[in-house]
Amino acid sequence: MKPAELPPCDVVLRGGITSGLVYPGALVVLAARWQFRNIGGASAGAIGAGLLAAAEYGRRSGTNAQAFAEVAGIPAELGARRQYWQPTRLQRLFQPSPALAPAMALVWTLLRARAKRRSAVLDLLASAWPGLVTAAGLAALAAVALGVQRAGDGWLWLAGLLVFGGALAAWLALLLSRWHFDLVRLGMGLCPGSMAGWDAATPLDTLRSEGAFADWMHAVIQSLAGRAADAPLTMRDLWRADRLEADGGYPEDASEWDAGRDIDLLLTTTNVSQRLPVSFPFLEASGTTLYFREDDLRRVLPAAVVAHLVAASDPRFALAKDGETFHRLPYPPDLPVVLGLRLSLSFPLLISAVRLWVTQGWRPGNAGSRANALAQLKPIWFSDGGITSNFPVSSFDALLPSRPTFCINLADMDERDQRLGKVPIVRMTRGNADGIMVPHGARVDRSLAGFLGAMVESARNGRENELAAMAGQRDRIVTILLDPTSQGGLNLDMDGDTIAALDKAGREAGAELNARFAPGGKAWRNHRWLRLRTSLAAIETAALQFGRNARKVDAGGASYALHELRYSLEDVPSYGFGKAHHDRALHWAKRLASGAMLLEAAREAPPGPTLFGGTRPQMSHSPTPDKGAPRPGATLVLQPNRGRDPRKG
């Protein structure tokens, strides 16, 4: 069957550093049954989403008909070694800045000790031999200076030990101080993402086989998309995957980017400077403008990608300050896909954050406006998407979805399954009553570190965990349970067999989704019915509140006055409607309020059972839970649309 004849679906992938190796297998299995429209993810999930978008582009555009066969080979590629004693390709992706190579060596030492389930003390001592030798030498010199002549002088031995300990402590303090300085200077991460000294002429094969993780991502994306090294895959390419006609110019209105997208990609990153979650490719118009410096991006992206960003930047908006040029970030259609991946994958301390610059919007040709923009230019740091939303399950939500959105979740096995040495476990809900209770994570009462870790996890993912348990959400989520001591996560040194096990689990997850959501099958019908039930109940609650409050008069005699249509164009204090549709807008606002009144009257016995929400079974152990309302219930809330996809599928 041709890709265009396959039924459409959306996909959302959870972050998890190396746990993302489950995704290639899952996506290859899904690709046999579905074509992909909206694709989202965070952190390692963003890498899976980017590779999926590139492969789907290659398949749909005809530039690489074998793209998904190439995706299937990625786990084996990352698990391969040149020689059996050498590191895997996965390990070689994490290449540190030269100044921080000793710190990365310490990380590898700790990971090896963890993998062998032994104390890291001996390994740490082995890796700290320069400090030990230095301290021993100082102790020996101190002993000579003190005139040590007899081995029996205990106080002299004590003095030597004290000098040894002091010298070792001083060496460690200097080393940690230096590492801290370099971490701050180099973007709060050991690994920048791209190899220093490589230029735009570096072949894609070299980037793929020798480069760091950003180099590798760029090379793989270009290969999957069937594109040359000097033409990075952009959002415009994805949006026009089914029609490759050229388009130029700089669209000024974001609405021009909304219509007719063939493949859409939405990646979560975190603006740590302003403490905000942000969605790439920055579709939401705002009063600020993002800028970049070439030197900032050369460390974190391949040179060819940086060259594209410079060429695609609107030269009218370039700013010069202190001898440096600040380029305006290109408009969303011209943003490279790999930029979104790199913005989302910036795991704190391990992977450097990405520095962009922000200033207030301004108009070219206005000297005062330019001067104001220069004065307000500030650095802005983007770090891992998982900091604020590691599992963006609501990325493509609609009240009534027209196609399924498959969500692939990653979680830790419980301690019992770990002890039994089980391979990754794939789970989905089996009925409407399954999955209502959010599963327990690891025990948090056994150590302070475990409790603090659970607090951080709750802050990061509490909202997503709550959403994942909702009716009409939990039935579309497949969860892959991994052993955190050896599989995925920060296990950067997994061997080929472990990576193959992750790939196998991903394929099982994809097969589970295919079997459950076959077009016209019961699961998809039930999912649509659940979404209808929960959406109607949420709309009812919101409408009743809207209608009641629209009629209320506050202590000062003011009201929304929808029933009186009192507001005229001159009365509204701000954000007034345009003259052409002012009366029409207020007319329909009045009808909404009237409809809410009719809805309230239609309920059987307010404030008794709702019209759409149904009733809860009298007993929690009712043998017919499906006859009640879906639980937990849903509510409609307003939230900022910061760069999120304005289209709802």
Kindly list the catalytic residues.
43, 384
Q: Are 269 and 336 in contact (CB under 8 A)?
A: no
How many residues does this entry show for the chain?
Answer: 649
Six-digit token pair at 295? 């030197």
Q: Are 301 and 294 in contact (CB under 8 A)?
A: no
- DSSP, res 489: B
CB count, 10 Å around CB of 558?
9
Distance CA(13)–CA(509), nearest Å, equals: 12
Distance CA(483)–CA(161), nearest Å, equals: 43
Of 289, 276, 372, 370, the C-alpha closest to 330 is: 289
Of 384, 359, 51, 76, the C-alpha closest to 225 is: 51
80: Cβ contacts below 8 Å, ≥ 6 apart: 88, 89, 496
CB count, 10 Å around CB of 502?
26
Distance CA(205)–CA(201), nearest Å, equals: 11
258: Cβ contacts below 8 Å, ≥ 6 apart: 283, 646, 647
Q: Are 214 and 337 in contact (CB under 8 A)?
A: no
Distance CA(536)–CA(524), nearest Å, equals: 18
Six-digit token pair at 36? 């992909």
Residue-wise burial string across 299-326, b where 16 or more C-beta atoms lie within 10 A, e elsewhere:
bbbbbbbbbbbeebbeeebebeeeeeeb
Helix or strand run (H / E) with residue 253? none
Cα–Cα distances (Å) from 29 to 58, 71, 497, 513, 519, in that order, read 17, 11, 20, 9, 16
Distance of CA 93 to the CA centre of its chain: 19
Distance CA(29)–CA(26), nearest Å, equals: 5
Residue-by-residue DSSP string for 491-534: -TT--HHHHHHHHHHHHHHHHHHHHHT-TTSHHHHHHHHHHHHH
